[in-house]
Amino acid sequence: MTITNFISNRSSLTRVVSSTQTHGLATPDSNACRSHISSVLRDIESSAAKEIVTVVFDDLLRLLECLDLIEVHLRKVDSAEQTFALFQLIHDDARALVDFMQSEAMRPEAVTGELFETLDGISFAVNHDLQRVFETNPSRSGEGNETHVITGRLYRAHDVLTNCLQQSTITLAIVFDPELDGTKLFNNSDMRFRQSLELCEDLAQLIQLVEAAEENQAAFGPLAEGVQKFRNESMELLMYSDWPQFENLCEQIDLQRGGQQLDAVLHQFHCYLETLLGQVRMRAVLANVFPRRAQNPAHPITRILN
């Protein structure tokens, strides 16, 4: 599929978002975000790269605008059918974007180096989170799910996809504007505060499980379960650049289960998690929770949260 064909074959999601923008339902900061992205695009010298990146940016922002539309309906369980239909449109368009990046955008003659690696990472991340959201998506509203269960799962799906698409947009923009502050594109500090605090708690719990396994390898079972739980539920809250190292360490732990090198791998994983926790606690949205002078990752998170 050529770039021109991809643009012409976009789904009806474009019409949905366009109609909502007429009624002022798009993200309040969407115009400022698009304006900043436009300035980023103007500075791209390669015409081939510029054409590809323009398509990717446009689709990421369009999907985010549709997620913004869905947000106002998440608590309306009586309209869950329509909400599920919009989620499906998002799935189809996001899947088409992944296919485009894998088949067209990452051709060696079009993009190379950092841009190629970034598009490859975005493709992996979007595909990963689409599977996470839609493989565990709740049944449709007529199948007897409790109201709070439906609402909770819809909110989680919305948060996962929003976080994924925003991170992807920021990551791609930074390729061309290394000094970019992500808050210039998206001002959703409430969601990021909640997600960052949740990530701190989950990392602290994982550190406790590693410590228990270091003291007694009989505690390896709970650690393995905790690692899998983190990978399934919390990993998408990390920066995508942290995913490969986290996954690599998890694989090393699994390979060394019961082996002579397990102690060394657990120690490495422990140090990595403490460093990662320290980095998360330095996020701007947590500045009031973790003052700079208290940002020692060795401090138990529970002392500050309780």
Listed ranges 9-23, 52-66, 181-195; the one with the highest mean pLDDT: 52-66
Residue 60's pLDDT band, with cuts at 50, 70 and 90, is: very high
Please give the single-letter amino acid code of residue 46. Answer: S
Claim to verify: residue 180 and residue 200 sit in the same structural domain: no
- Pick the last residue of a domain from 184, 202, 236: 184
The residue behind tokens 């919390």 is: 234
Comparing 8-12, 51-55, 210-214, which segment has the lowest mean pLDDT? 8-12
Residue 10's pLDDT band, with cuts at 50, 70 and 90, is: low
pLDDT at 299: 39
Residue 269's pLDDT band, with cuts at 50, 70 and 90, is: very high
d(CA 81, CA 84): 5
pLDDT at residue 283 is higher than 70: yes
Claim to verify: residue 164 and residue 207 sit in the same structural domain: no
Phi-psi region of 140 (alpha: psi -120 to 50; beta: other; left: phi over 0): beta
Claim to verify: residue 157 and residue 291 sit in the same structural domain: no
Comparing 17-26, 105-114, 216-225, 244-253, which segment has the lowest mean pLDDT? 17-26
Copy the structure tokens of residue 21: 């923008």
pLDDT at 139: 44
pLDDT at 259: 65
Query: Which of 190, 194, 133, 187 shows the shortest CA–CA distance to 164?
Result: 133
- Beta-carbon-side half-sphere exposure of residue 48 (alpha carbons within 13 Å): 12
The DSSP string of 120-159 is HHHHHHHHHHHHHHHHSPPPPGGG---HHHHHHHHHHHHH
First to last CA, the chain: 55
Claim to verify: residue 132 and residue 243 sit in the same structural domain: no
Average pLDDT of the segment spanning 163-173 = 90
Claim to verify: residue 169 and residue 201 sit in the same structural domain: no
Average pLDDT of the segment spanning 261-282 = 90
Apex CA 267: angle with CA 264 and CA 272, to 5°?
125
Claim to verify: residue 195 and residue 163 sit in the same structural domain: no
Claim to verify: residue 284 and residue 267 sit in the same structural domain: yes
pLDDT at 9: 52
d(CA 213, CA 17): 50
Average pLDDT of the segment spanning 154-162 = 81
pLDDT at residue 273 is higher than 90: yes
Claim to verify: residue 179 and residue 106 sit in the same structural domain: yes
pLDDT at 57: 93
pLDDT at 30: 67
> Domain containing 48: what range?
3-184
d(CA 48, CA 301): 48
Claim to verify: residue 44 and residue 136 sit in the same structural domain: yes
More confident residue, 164 or 258: 164
d(CA 167, CA 125): 9
Average pLDDT of the segment spanning 85-94 = 86
Q: What is the mean pLDDT of the chain?
A: 77
Residue 151's pLDDT band, with cuts at 50, 70 and 90, is: low
pLDDT at 277: 92
Domain count for the chain: 2
Claim to verify: residue 139 and residue 57 sit in the same structural domain: yes
Tens digits of residue pLDDT in 99-113? 999 888 777 777 778
Claim to verify: residue 163 and residue 295 sit in the same structural domain: no
- Pick the last residue of a domain from 132, 154, 184: 184
Residue 146's pLDDT band, with cuts at 50, 70 and 90, is: low
Residue 290: phi and psi, rounded to 5, are: -120, 85
The DSSP string of 221-280 is HHHHHHHHHHHHHTGGGS-GGGHHHHHHHHHHHHHTTTSTTHHHHHHHHHHHHHHHHHHH
Average pLDDT of the segment spanning 69-89 = 75
Judge contact between 70 and 162, C-beta under 8 A. Answer: no
Comparing 73-77, 99-103, 125-129, 130-134, which segment has the lowest mean pLDDT? 73-77
Tens digits of residue pLDDT in 175-230? 998 888 777 788 766 777 888 888 999 999 999 999 998 888 777 889 989 998 88
d(CA 273, CA 278): 8
Claim to verify: residue 222 and residue 93 sit in the same structural domain: no
- Pick the last residue of a domain from 161, 184, 207: 184
